[in-house]
Amino acid sequence: MKEDSRLAEIAALVGDPARANILTALLDGRALTAGELAYFAGVSPQTASGHLAKLTESRMLALHKQGRHRYYRLATPQVGRMIEGIMEVAIAAPERYRPASKVDPALRTARTCYDHFAGRLGVGLAEALGARGHLVLAEEAGEVTEAGIEFLSGFGLDLAEARRCRRAYCRPCLDWTERRPHLGGAIGAALAARCFALRWVERQRDSRALTITAAGRRGLDEVFGLRL
Amino acid sequence: MKEDSRLAEIAALVGDPARANILTALLDGRALTAGELAYFAGVSPQTASGHLAKLTESRMLALHKQGRHRYYRLATPQVGRMIEGIMEVAIAAPERYRPASKVDPALRTARTCYDHFAGRLGVGLAEALGARGHLVLAEEAGEVTEAGIEFLSGFGLDLAEARRCRRAYCRPCLDWTERRPHLGGAIGAALAARCFALRWVERQRDSRALTITAAGRRGLDEVFGLRL
DNA sequence: GCCACGCTTCGGTCGCGGCCGAAGCGTCGA
DNA sequence: TCGACGCTTCGGCCGCGACCGAAGCGTGGC
């Protein structure tokens, strides 16, 4: 019976709005300072400090000291997936606020989801690949077809490397603004990395939102037939 | 910024020990009455009633009325996966109580994890299949080999059916008592169902723990080379 | 029709925990 | 050496929510 007091403990930590804000701000894998996180959380620095101490003590965040700054980041990918798992349930919860209309439009268009693309960009890529028979996404699993392997390799992805690493190779990830799956897993991460390398997309300061560059707009249309 | 108030809301619901107990009691997919859940949660019926109302209102539980009983169950598989996701993070949290020694030994030996096997039984099966080259489990994904498909089909699993259903085909699931992965996904569920059908294992009343029958002990040894 | 039973609703108590102001600590730059 | 800065610690306030006793509601059995 005592077995899940730990469960409740962790969930309760995520269950405070300020801490939830902190965790989602870190969801894209970047490390942020205590001050930035206080701003994101909408609380005073001293309050945020307390929250950060708790999250670090529970091993959900990792701390890296640098000069007079303290950088916090998600301690493990599990933490990110846990948050996503809770979000999946949260979007199915009653629409006390209507779904996505209040969300920052930039965030709806394109953002990172831990290490891959989400928003209209992420969903669009997944559907473009699906429409051309390069990808099959089911509810809980996904598969890249032969044609897809050839296509993505041609686009510059190192699929052998992606296969090698110890994580889900190809995983659908339910998009909480679009309510349709986008592409996660090693393939999703590799695709995102390639787009960053090509400077098709760029991170925005203080946000998980992404900017699609002019080159990106052109490239996405030419290569994937995707217009946003 | 408002986007994740929903996240915090759901997490906070899980974050209460009584509600966490309720959710874990339902983790094996069975439906339980309000009274049973009150007992599991360790609170009075009227307190439990309040918790159940909140969980139902937030669409985490589904309610089925039958006579003067009210049966509650997890509303969707997502909820189960969310709980497992939180548990994964929870077992990595500091060992304020040492890991598994206080857990009911029966629960450590064999239990259900949503719809597949966990505990020494679950981990043992996964490792037995792995040792014989029937299964490859990485950190976040898994694969059944050609030989494994043949072997499991011979054991009576309908793999084509498992392939067909819209869920992860083969998924490692970190076991929180053994701290090693066991076999989840459609394959894990099919394997568990087959063992139930053979009456190798039986559910225990009031617990997720499983009893391995004499026939089960024999069969597991003969077919999988597994002794518990 | 009656009571027993399972469950929920209501009302009031109480404790945990989030919050901020003030003060303290370490780091950087001049 | 001094002050500005980033961050944490301390102390006290306050509100939310978990909790249970008592009462109410619907179902089933006799």
Q: Say yes or no: ipTM exceeds 0.85.
A: no
Q: What is the pLDDT of residue A175?
A: 63
- Kindly give the parts of chain A with pLDDT less than 70: 1-4, 94-104, 114, 138-141, 164-180, 205-207
φ/ψ of residue A87, rounded to 5: -60, -40
Most confident listed range (B70-79, B139-148, B214-223): B214-223
* Spatial separation of the C-alpha atoms in residues B228 and B127, rounded to whole Å: 13
The confidence band for B101, taking pLDDT boundaries of 50, 70 and 90, is very low
Query: Which pLDDT belongs to residue A22?
Result: 92
List CB contacts (< 8 A) between A7 and chain B: 14, 20, 24, 83, 86-87, 90
Nearest to A168 among B83, B93, B140 (CB): B140
Report the candidate in A19, A31, A28 with the shortest Cα–Cα distance to residue A66. A31
Predicted confidence (pLDDT) at residue B53 exceeds the cutoff of 80? yes
Q: Give chain B's end-to-end CA distance (angstroms, integer).
A: 51
Token pair for A79: 């933490």
Q: What is the pLDDT of residue B219?
A: 92
Above 50 in pLDDT, residue B173? yes
How confident is the model over B109-168, as pLDDT tens digits? Answer: 888 876 788 888 988 999 899 888 898 876 556 778 888 889 999 999 887 777 765 455
Q: For chain B, give the mean pLDDT.
A: 81
Q: Which of residues 62-101 of A touch B (CB under 8 A)?
A: 75-76, 78-79, 81-83, 85-94, 96-97
| Predicted local distance difference test score (pLDDT) of residue B102 | 46
Q: Is the CB of B33 under 7 A from strand C?
A: yes
Binned at pLDDT 50, 70 and 90, residue B1 comes out as very low
List the domains of chain A with CATH numbers.
2-78 (1.10.10.10), 97-224 (no CATH)
Is the C-beta of residue B22 closer than 7 Å to nucleic acid chain C?
no
What gap in Å lies between CA B18 and CA B46, rounded to an integer? 12
Q: Is A112 on the interface with B (CB under 8 A)?
A: no
Q: Is A168 exposed, middle or buried (0-12, 13-18, 19+ CB in 10 A)?
A: buried
- Looking at per-residue pLDDT, the higher value among B208 and A25 belongs to A25
Distance CA B223, CA B132 (A): 12
